[in-house]
Structure 1
Amino acid sequence: MTQSTEHLEERIAHLLRAVDELSDVVARQDRDMDKLKTQVAMLMQREAGREQDGSGGAFFADERPPHY
């Protein structure tokens, strides 16, 4: 019975370590997602400002830029 208990304790220790590692991964991904959301919001604001100024727009390969 002691060997079985030791085996279970070992498995529990491995599972707890795996849970801790996964928790760290999820926390890091959450921070990364927050940063990406902030960056996307800034890019959206920047693009909205360009559209209001009229300086934004799509350029196509067969069109000449306006400064020619």
Structure 2
Amino acid sequence: MEVNLGEQREENREQRTENREQREENREKRTERREKREEIQIVIWREMENLKLKGRHSPLQGGD
């Protein structure tokens, strides 16, 4: 089976382009997930601070 080198190079180039696009898409998704986690952590931190200011314990800590 003979493979045309020109065709093979073109296929390789296309595959590299697809791989690069996929990596970029994955990077964007990771960034979005990280930002969402950070937002959630901020909300939790604020709630904990509010509970402290009100003199209450966090339900996460247990007890009264």
Shorter-chain TM-score tier: 0.7 to 0.9
Greater relative contact order (Cα < 8 A, sep 6+): 2
TM-score calculated relative to the size of structure 1: 0.75
Q: Which runs of 5+ in 1 are unaligned?
A: 60-64
Q: Within 5 Å, give how 1:1-68 maps onto structure 2.
A: 3-57=4-58, 58-59=61-62, 65-66=63-64
Please give the root-mean-square deviation of Cα atoms over the aligned residues, in Å. 1.8
Corresponding residue SS for 1:26: helix
Name the count of aligned residue pairs. Answer: 60
Question: How far did residue 26 of structure 1 move?
Answer: 0.8
Larger gyration radius, structure 1 or structure 2: 1
- 1:62 corresponds in structure 2 to none
| Displacement over 6 Å in runs of 4+ | none
